[in-house]
Amino acid sequence: MPRTKSRQLIPVDGLAQLSFLIHGLLERRVAEHDLSMIQTRLLGVLRDRRPTMQELAQLLSLDKSSVTGLVDRAEGRGLVVRIPSEADRRVVRVGLTGVGRALASDVASQFEGDVAIVLGRLPRTDRAALAKVVSRLLVADADARGVDLFATLDETAP
Amino acid sequence: MPRTKSRQLIPVDGLAQLSFLIHGLLERRVAEHDLSMIQTRLLGVLRDRRPTMQELAQLLSLDKSSVTGLVDRAEGRGLVVRIPSEADRRVVRVGLTGVGRALASDVASQFEGDVAIVLGRLPRTDRAALAKVVSRLLVADADARGVDLFATLDETAP
DNA sequence: TATTGTTATACTCTATAACTATA
DNA sequence: TATAGTTATAGAGTATAACAATA
């Protein structure tokens, strides 16, 4: 008897589908710029940071050796630069080039447009309701994990 | 002045973040079973089909040569089997083994639990609102692309 | 000839282990 | 000795092009 009702109250499938829809939107969009998801995340992370290779590994949840290759390829395309640290000559910092920053901006605004189109198919009141609940959900999740919500913003939405 | 308001009405960032949250949940969960996302999708697609290699390529949006390798590795792990077609001896169909089916079920139910935990942090009324709006969004999107919603269910929620 | 699937090849992405340079 | 980063190596995942078997 409570079958239909509980499906509505715990919309696991719907949420999963929605997440794959949005993720796929980004994947297809960045592919047009010959970017993989991880290269896109790299650019996103660098928009407001100049991390060391070590820090980059933590930010992207990768091994430091994986970051070496990742940055190699991005640098080869002229999207990022390695900046030797003066304080500690073992350390290398990574920053966006102008080209890299422009590409990151392009991708971000195009992706926002893609998501806006999908959202635009909903009536205004539904969009408002969605915004409210999604923001509550994100806050509740960040709370539950003791995480600063804004610290992860640009990693997830490059 | 309408800045805050329009952010709420077009929750692009929030939706993107949410989608990465859910996607990451699945990624971490399947990694515990030594599954990549594409291997997980393969198992998901096979839960109610025995497609040819060609059909598999279309279902997963991969080149047929990529599917050869994908199926090779899954078959090597005993998760799927190649079944020679009797009608056309060029054709190979792919199906789940018992082990593959059990793994797919495990992963699906664990992932549902993960999503349910996140949703459980919302008050009941918010969950109901989210369920309603998300389902409308998915229907609207499927409509807009002239796609049968249920045909893609198990690809996105393995 | 056309189609199905595999193979050969090349590149990205990833990790582990060993290495170099610096601290 | 310990740390930061790279290199060597191996394997998954992907695509393009060439191929074999079948239709």
> Distance from residue B60 (CA) to nucleotide D12 (C1'), in Å?
16
- Sort out which chain B residues have CB atoms less than 8 A from A122's CB and list them: 133, 136-137, 140
Q: What is the pLDDT confidence band of residue B11, given thresholds at 50, 70 and 90?
A: confident
Cβ–Cβ < 8 Å for A138, A149: yes
Do A146 and B30 meet the contact criterion of CB atoms below 8 Å apart?
no
Cβ-proximal residues to B128 (8 Å cutoff; 6+ apart), any chain:
A8, A9
Chain-chain contact of B134 with A12 (C-beta, under 8 angstroms): no
Between CA A75 and CA A71 the distance in angstroms is 6
Counting every residue written for chain A, the total comes to: 158
Contacts of B145 (CB under 8 A, 6+ apart): none
How far apart are alpha carbons B97 and A133 in whole angstroms?
A: 41
Smallest Cα distance from A86 to chain B, Å = 36
The CA distance from A119 to A133, in Å, is 14
Contact assessment for residue B25 and residue A145, using Cβ atoms and an 8 Å cutoff: no
**With 50 as the cut, is the pLDDT of residue A3 above it?**
no
A vs B, Cβ pairs < 8 A, gives 169
Neighbours of A8 (CB within 10 A): 14
Mutate one of A6, A10, A38, A47 to test the B interface: name it (highest B CB count within 10 A). Answer: A10
Interchain pair B132, A13: CB under 8 A: no
- pLDDT, averaged across chain A: 88
Say if the Cβ atoms of B135 and A11 lie within 8 Å.
yes
The Cβ-side half-sphere exposure at B103, using a 13 Å CA radius, reads: 24
Q: How confident is the model at residue B10 (pLDDT cuts 50, 70, 90)?
A: low
Answer yes or no: pTM beyond 0.85.
yes
Å separating the CA of residue A73 from the C1' of nucleotide C22:
25
pLDDT on residue B147? 64
pLDDT band at A12 (very low <50, low <70, confident <90, very high): confident
Q: Distance (Å) from the C-alpha of residue B32 to the closest C-alpha of chain A?
A: 16
Q: Return the closest-CA partner of residue A158 out of A63, A64, A81, A59.
A: A59
Smallest CA–C1' separation from A74, nucleotide: C12
Quote the pLDDT of residue A155: 38
Cβ A18–B124 below 8 Å, yes or no? Answer: no
